[in-house]
Amino acid sequence: MIKMDLLSKVYSEYDKNIRKKRFVAVIVILMMFFAIWISSTDYAPQSLMLINSIPVERDAKFIIKPSKENLIAPNALHNTTFYKSIVQYVHDQSHVEHCSNRRYIIYRCNAGKLCGGIGDRQKGIITAFLLALLTKRTFIIDVSNPCKLETILRPSLYDWTTCKDYALSVPAVDSMSLHLIGDHTFRSKISKQDFRQWNKTVVFIMLNWLSFPGIRQHDVTKVMNLFTAITNEEAIRVVLESLFKPSHSMDTEINAFNRNQRQDRHLVCAHIRTGGNPSIPLDSKSDRRNPNVSIIFSFLEKYDTHENVIYIATDADEVKNNSYLTFKNVITLKRKIVHVDKLGNMQMDTACEGYFTAILEQYILAGCDTLILTHSNLGFMAAYERGVVDQLFLYNKKINVIQRAKTLEDIYNVYGYI
């Protein structure tokens, strides 16, 4: 009898231990599922949202260090040496703990300075970033004309606001400025540029051009194998996506456009840049690009069905108004048209709203199923961000026809954008 009681106690204790282990195992499994679920939702804490979340500098002394692996998102271009070099650059920059231990390249566009339109500015930013990549300097964007770029776009893979306040406070004696707007001489010699001559802590750069041929030929580029198996057009897309993502307010506008106006229809877009016209009175009168709008509208007629929606982006109110008279299924952004480099005495609020609208329009164009371009850097950059040649058409003024693009390089072949 005593043996039976003892045996019963042993089995009872054993059963308790089994139940405890099962309970612990269930709890662990539930916690694992919860962690997986929360990291895939909008409720994930910032520490779990690793992709595209390079930490913002909290103070001038300490910067959180992300892991390189957390920076890589799935994309065919992310297998290129070019993208991996950017990832390495981001990783290396994030591990410099003190702002005082850095050297800087700052792309600058401030009040009172001509910087060009949206596309020109993007070209300048891309070139300045590539120079930062070659020189291993921290890259910063300082745009306040007509308002701060940070109010419209956020840093993406690379945080171009890191140590910005510190860099802007560096004494003038330890900085140098390169005013390179329209400087074709510097651009033509960039392949031989001796970066050791940039011996100041901060290098301010103001420019509005791309120089892929020159940068590709630089000795540092060759050592890095930077442009192996990537086109210039693909490199533009990678840089823009690495630097920028929409602000929260921009995201809201894009989502509202897709939900309320696009409505899951095939989006057919035409970006019609006319040049000097009454909607932008300060635009150069000599800039009469004058695309044949009738040719473009005739091309669009076949898309004017319920399955499609036609979107017109233009610098001319007259073109917008005529589109309403021509098509049944047409939409535009009913906002003031501005050119960010030709504002005159425009009120700051109006100018900033126009700046916001121009970049919103570019995001919309980048998401179009069918895209027709005229001569405009804003449209070219949208096409590169779109990233595919399928259903891309180019209005060729020289022969007054709309051509189907065979490669993204055809944009250069038709317009000579650089």
248-415 maps to CATH 3.40.50.300: no
Instruction: Tell me where in the chain the CATH 3.40.50.11350 domain(s) lie.
Output: 248-415
| Residue 352: CB atoms within 10 Å | 19
The pLDDT value given to residue 57: 33
Instruction: Name 281's Cβ contacts closer than 8 Å, sequence gap at least 6.
Output: 344
Instruction: Name 51's Cβ contacts closer than 8 Å, sequence gap at least 6.
Output: 70, 71, 72, 73
Task: List beta partners, residue 280.
Answer: 277
Eight-state DSSP code of residue 284: -
Where are any strands of DSSP class E within 58-188? 104-109, 138-143, 153-155, 175-179
The pLDDT value given to residue 10: 40
The pLDDT value given to residue 339: 72
Those residues of the chain that have pLDDT short of 50 are 1-11, 14, 34-74
* Closest by Cα among 24, 186, 164 to 108: 164
The pLDDT value given to residue 239: 98
